[in-house]
Amino acid sequence: MKSWMLAVIVACNVQLVHKSKSSQINYHKSMFTVFSTPSFAGRMPLSTNCILSPYSEVTKRLLADSSVNCQVQNHVHKSSYTEQTWHKTKINPVLRYFRTLKWTPIPLGLGFAYIAYQQFRHVKKRENAKLTSSSNPSDLLASNVYVSMYTMLPLRAVSRFWGWMNTFEVPQPIRTPLLNLFISMYGCNIKEAIVDDVKQYRSLGEFFSRQLKKETRPVHPGKCLVSPSDGQILHFGKIENGLIEQVKGITYSLKSFLGLDSLSNSSEELSVTDEKYEKSVLKNKDNDLYHCVIYLAPGDYHKFHSPAEWSVNSRKHFHGELLSVRPGIVNWISGLFAINERVVYTGEWHHGYFSLTAVGATNVGSIKVYFDETLQTNRKKCMKGTYEDRQFSPAVSITGKGQPFGEFNLGSTIVLVFEAPKDIHFNVAAGQKIKYGELISFCNSTSSNT
């Protein structure tokens, strides 16, 4: 009778717990071993309920004993493993350091940006080596592949972040050392400012747009052209055949820079040549077109002023890239000023056509013009290569040279394109440092002293 009961219990429990054939054999052996021990018989007597129920007392007892044994074995294994690991970590400080590190996912775009930046640095070093060994300007220009790699960098997002940083109020404890560091790095003369105490500037933007003492920037008198800002003269001269000279031997199109807004017939605009466009801009056919490019370094005074007495008729805002406009990059990328985002203000002065263009750059996505409150540059949703046009009616009249015009977030570039008689004289030299209000050019027919 006892053997029959054992057979039924074994059959029920094997069917419930173990499925494979090999596990059934092991289970049979364990069951007979358990029932054969006197301690088990005294601890848990058999009954009919135990035999017939699939969740019998015997099953529960067996499962409890097996789980306890497994838990004890796992605890011993984990304890020994933990002690060995702790011993190794305690002996090896390098391993202890690496165990404290945590893996953090890096955005895919940031990784591509880093790769593009490293490749750009490599290319720039190679181009600098070429610059010292070649005398042909065209050999020093970047290829389209290199320019495309440069434009892949998230320069617009970086510029928007820098624009936010400019408005961020610097905490008082670090305000003085931070601004003093910037002043020492770029050679700013804080004594020229009306407020020469750096603690009074709550943000970088307030420091960059600080007001200067009038006696530090006297404006040259007479009907002449003065510098609109502090900076460096990159290039100047006559515009020939509708082409502006960017550097010696390298030109870019006046038509692409200013836009086709001077011709009324749209069908003619598509087929107009650079030379024809230049002639259409001139108000007086006996005059010529000239240009002057002023580069504002980060340490320069960031506001710009009107270079002459003139009236502003229209504004054209070109959406484009925000590449650096440092002289080294200007010499490397052809047509850089026609690629970057820019705001072109056109009108007339006493010699005829006149335009002032504020060119955007890396970290200089924000361009502010005081009389044009609707202007918003470096927007997130805009199509590169397109432009927005605005007509001022009535025209904005600027009655004095040196009148405040606008400001940059950081150093950038201003391009003047103007009509003047053939007897014009430039009072500047390429590479010369200049301050706003200083003389750029005058004509003998209208002397600068009149």
Is 274 assigned a catalytic role?
no
* Sequence letter at residue 206: E
Is 261 assigned a catalytic role?
no
Q: Copy the structure tokens of residue 209.
A: 């747009």
How does DSSP assign 274-306, residue by residue?
A: HHHHHHHH-SSTTSEEEEEEEE--TTS--EEE-
Q: What is the residue whose two structure tokens read 């001077």?
A: 262
Cβ–Cβ under 8 Å, residues 186 and 207: no
Is 36 assigned a catalytic role?
no
Of the residues 229, 324, 412, 441, only one is catalytic, namely: 412
* Sequence letter at residue 193: A
| Residue 19 to residue 1: CA distance in whole angstroms | 27
Q: Copy the structure tokens of residue 72.
A: 């004890």
Of the residues 230, 274, 300, 372, only one is catalytic, namely: 230
Nearest Cα to 232, choosing from 343, 159, 325, 305?
325
Of the residues 235, 305, 317, 351, only one is catalytic, namely: 305
Around Cβ 266, how many Cβ atoms within 10 Å?
A: 8
- Residues contacting residue 308 through CB under 8 Å, at least 6 positions apart: 224, 225, 226, 349, 354, 398, 401, 418
Catalytic residues: 230, 305, 412
